[in-house]
Structure 1
């Protein structure tokens, strides 16, 4: 049954959500109206389509996968049945007090199974108890409390500001699945599309705020960037900038530079010049390496004032401005999105107002 829900103005300006296709964002809103009071619903893409897009051609399975990869929903399975949990539901929705309680188990909750009790106990006393590893008490014994059973006491609402999924941990005797969890769909077991794999890997393993259709993710797919290349680039970044958080654009630039250097080394080992006879994508894109930027600066009659304390980043911005409009500017703006102040300064420097330009 559909229900009335809240929608806040911030929905339309969410920097992660706006990167998703229009129909995926509309689906996200639609999920709120068919979810129960705890933000849960059955994971049945065909049924969801009939509820939200009855007259439109929308691939709800793919759209749900994109929402999950972006961290807006969690798709999970309990007792062989598939469900969806809307993330941060309690922060944004206030269900009506008379709305029925949820009958869908929460992510990670053990399925309930009926337990046989002695014949002397009346039938109405039979109850459903979680399938946990502790003995069922005899009729004359008090049942264990939720704390004794290792459960969180019922609070009547979601725990605020708490992720719905417990981070992957090593369980003794169980294989480590975290390293490959981005490759397969958590519910269907099928292989995720490569953009989804990269988005999940960058978000969950390295904490980058990207989605499957982020420009840098799409470029990584185009260049066939491997998981190992990303891991090595992040490791090098950590050594160069300890304590800093990498972003996808910067890591992509490092991978391009590493490929260019590897191509030059291979050419040198083979006794061949790494010039025009061996063009590479990275070499053609001068803005992705220091030497390329320096060469472009010389072409534009610009000098890096390193002796005067000018940072390379400032020099780089000057070169990109003098070079005019191009992918170098857009890439730099994407790379600085995580630093709002720097992003604003560079944007104003690249595109001054008419009054300033005059």
Structure 2
């Protein structure tokens, strides 16, 4: 019997001899990596570690001179342009959030919405992961409105609206303009369409054969109903579409400005597909203050388009700095509210913008009130007295 035998039978009256099999290579790798995989701190900071590794790899391959050269090209007029673009995109993003919140019967005046959105942008840029600011504003709004679940779902739907706009516009741009992925995308499109059709067919079959008492189906129906009210209702979808288009146009224009600052002379038609890929990479929670996958994808896309990986890295770095500059008003919001929290007495609210008024209660809107409020689609049409203001907070 061979040495790999797990157990060898002995003659009657003797003991059983057990020979352990030699561990395989994959088993040895899993055993060596188990302490790392079981490390809770590593799992928590996986995104930060991944983003740092991507940056380290890029700097190792392309050198630190590219990084420093991109930073040296930024001047005051460019920073002011970035801040101005950030004002436009933030106001329209806050308006989109307001529309979605009102569709879910939550009160959200435009003034606090803009301030909280700025704060979220700054926290997203300053903290690892890139999503902690959105989590913060979702929880704060839900707590102030008296419905944490709806507050979180309002932020999720608002972010989904932005991703849908990016997906639709990005697909058109990547398939119509010359890009590093156009040929592969065209070959892959029929397979993706078939997969989507199959998934839709399976979903419809399950939905048609679902028992009436299926709780999961009921939860899905409620979620879809909220998505329709928040995004697709007659009162909301024009504003949500317009705001998403303006926000996406602002991000794309800032990327083009960053490419010009980095020294790229490529045309706008060549830069837009790369900008779309960079924005998609920014959505991955694997970054350090926004840096990481964006730089890697931009460097690869520039190289594939024949524009130079170094120029791509410099463009991504400049774009990251401009985005951070655009979020700096959020730091002012944090400082003002922190200072107000220090001066406020226990039990008091920070400022008049977030202090509750006697006529505001936690009771949900009546039907006529929600229709009246949802009918307003201009971002500056909200009256702060109509909504329940935010609670004060300090970070």
Q: Shorter-chain TM-score: what band?
A: under 0.3
Q: TM-score, normalised by structure 2?
A: 0.21
Q: TM-score, normalised by structure 1?
A: 0.22
Higher relative contact order (CA 8 A, sep 6+): 2
Larger proportion of helix = 2
